[in-house]
């Protein structure tokens, strides 16, 4: 398993922070099983008034992600760990309950089932299917269209790359773009 702690915004994580993060995220690895987790990537960022920790756990085709902020870097790492553990427990409980309801007697393995997770999410939350016409535009035009529509995100066709992109408003008020690419 690969474990990586990176710094951004001019922050270089100390060996103490790296060791602390690795120790804290051992619990996440124990939920999956060490043979199942491919990589854990921790990105630490420092801003004027807070620290942000983004954690991605890669397990096969499944990615579990947490992003938290706090005034203290160590507290942000703790909160990110708690958030990941909560997400994994919730997913495991959901799968376990689903298996019990279906009358399946076999034991649940520790490996995440990405297809089952997708089915559970879609079954529980999909309430509307909407078709949209994509017109070529710049990211600035997409942001304007999103603001005019009053949405938190906007799907558009990038006029330069001719690929489908999504622009969205982040929690900090800035904007970000998700660029799609085939696998």
The enclosing domain of 79 has a CATH number of 3.30.160.100
pLDDT value at position 105? 42
- Confirm if 64 and 71 have CB atoms less than 8 A apart: no
The residue out of 97, 125, 153 marking a domain boundary is 125
Residue 27 is assigned to a structural domain of this protein: yes
pLDDT value at position 114? 58
Sequence-ordered list of residues with C-beta below 8 angstroms from that of 88, at least 6 positions apart, any chain: 28, 31, 32, 64
Residues 52 and 91 in one domain: yes
For the chain, 183 residues long, the average pLDDT of each consecutive 10-residue run is 88 92 86 78 91 87 84 93 85 70 48 58 62 87 81 90 92 89 80
Q: Which domain holds residue 147?
A: 136-179
Residues 25 and 79 in one domain: yes
CA distance 75 to 130: 40
Contacts of residues 51-55 at CB distance under 8 Å and 24 or more positions apart, as own/partner, are 51/76, 52/76, 53/77, 53/79, 53/80, 54/80, 55/25, 55/80, 55/81, 55/84
Residue 130 is assigned to a structural domain of this protein: no
Residues 150 and 71 in one domain: no
Residues 115 and 66 in one domain: yes
- Confirm if 123 and 115 have CB atoms less than 8 A apart: no
CA distance 49 to 172: 12
Residues 116 and 43 in one domain: yes
Provide the whole-model pTM: 0.56
Residues 15 and 70 in one domain: yes
């Amino acid at each position: 398993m690969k474990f990586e702690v990176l710094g951004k915004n001019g922050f270089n994580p100390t060996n103490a922070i790296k060791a602390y993060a690795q120790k804290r995220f051992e619990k996440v690895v124990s939920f999956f099983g060490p043979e199942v987790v491919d990589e854990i990537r921790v990105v630490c960022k420092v801003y004027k008034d807070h620290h942000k920790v983004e954690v991605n756990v890669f397990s096969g085709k499944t990615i579990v992600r947490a992003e938290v902020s706090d005034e203290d870097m160590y507290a942000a790492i703790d909160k990110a760990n708690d958030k990941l553990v909560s997400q994994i427990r919730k997913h495991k409980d959901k799968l376990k309950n689903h298996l019990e309801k279906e009358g399946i007697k076999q034991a649940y393995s520790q490996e995440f089932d990405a297809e089952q997770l997708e089915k559970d999410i879609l079954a529980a939350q999909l309430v509307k299917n909407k078709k949209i016409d994509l017109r070529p535009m710049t990211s600035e035009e997409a942001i304007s269209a999103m603001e005019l529509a009053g949405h938190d995100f906007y799907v558009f066709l990038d006029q330069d790359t001719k690929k489908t992109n999504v622009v969205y408003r982040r929690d900090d008020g800035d904007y970000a773009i998700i660029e799609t690419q085939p696998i």
